[in-house]
Amino acid sequence: MTGFIVGSLILYFFYKTVYVLIPGIFCSILYCSWQKKELCRGRQYILEQQFKDWIQVTASCLRSGYSVENAFLKAGDELKLLYGNKTDIQTEVQNMKQQILNNVTLENILWDFAQRSGVEDIRNFADVFEVGKRTGGNLNEMIDNCCGIITMKAAVEQEIHTLLHGKSMEQKIMCLAPFAIISYIQVTSPLYFSPLYHNIAGICIMTGCLLLYLFSVGLSLHIIRIEV
């Protein structure tokens, strides 16, 4: 519904006709698709932060003498105190417990988790862990190194998010600025834009302006989305 309303209002600003309600339905479909991707990206970011804490506590448990499997499970239990029961990471911890009881290897569990999460750090950790298991490497040292790298990357990402928070607000304001300007001119000078509506030449010009506006919005969203 939000996508339909916003899309119809934007199109009405550019074309001044109620027929924009028809393509407004298509806008709602695009908005729902975009919103779904944004929600997915947000869940992945939260899961990435929770996984970082899971690996940190796991590394600490390994230094205390736990086996690798028990270290992961013990760390998962401690995360329950931090994040509660109803989180994605706790779902994965419970899934890991069940699969270990069913004699599924830890590297297969982590690989499956990595594929379902879609988080690059988890995929990289699962790949390194699998290679370490196969080659008989020092898993304690490997997990410590991975933990350090993931923690450093998370710190950089957090700093970037903090720096971009203000820019994100500026980007939203700039996206709304054209409509504020058009509304002001239409109120103060109602006939100023009238030659651009309800004729072929005006429709072509406004279509070009709309495409340029959409390109600018897309470019601004791309610029403020920095990945480490």
Q: What is the pLDDT along the chain (228 residues), one digit of tens a residue?
A: 665 666 667 777 777 776 666 666 666 677 777 777 778 887 888 888 888 888 888 888 888 878 888 888 888 888 877 777 778 888 888 888 888 888 888 888 888 888 888 888 888 888 888 887 777 667 777 877 877 787 787 777 777 777 777 677 777 788 788 888 888 877 787 777 777 777 788 778 888 888 888 888 878 777 777 665
**How far is residue 128 from each of residues 47, 99, 114, measured CA to CA in Å?**
19, 20, 12
Stated pTM of the model = 0.69
How many helices and strands, by DSSP H and E, does the chain display?
A: 8, 0
- Exposure letters 71-101 (e unless 16+ CB within 10 A, then b): bbbbbbeebeeebeeebebbebbeebbebbe
Q: 3: Cβ–Cβ under 8 A, 6 or more apart, which residues?
A: 27, 28, 29, 30, 31, 32, 35
Contact 90, 72 (CB under 8 A): no
**What angle in degrees, to the nearest 10, is found between the helix axes of 200-224 and 139-188?**
150
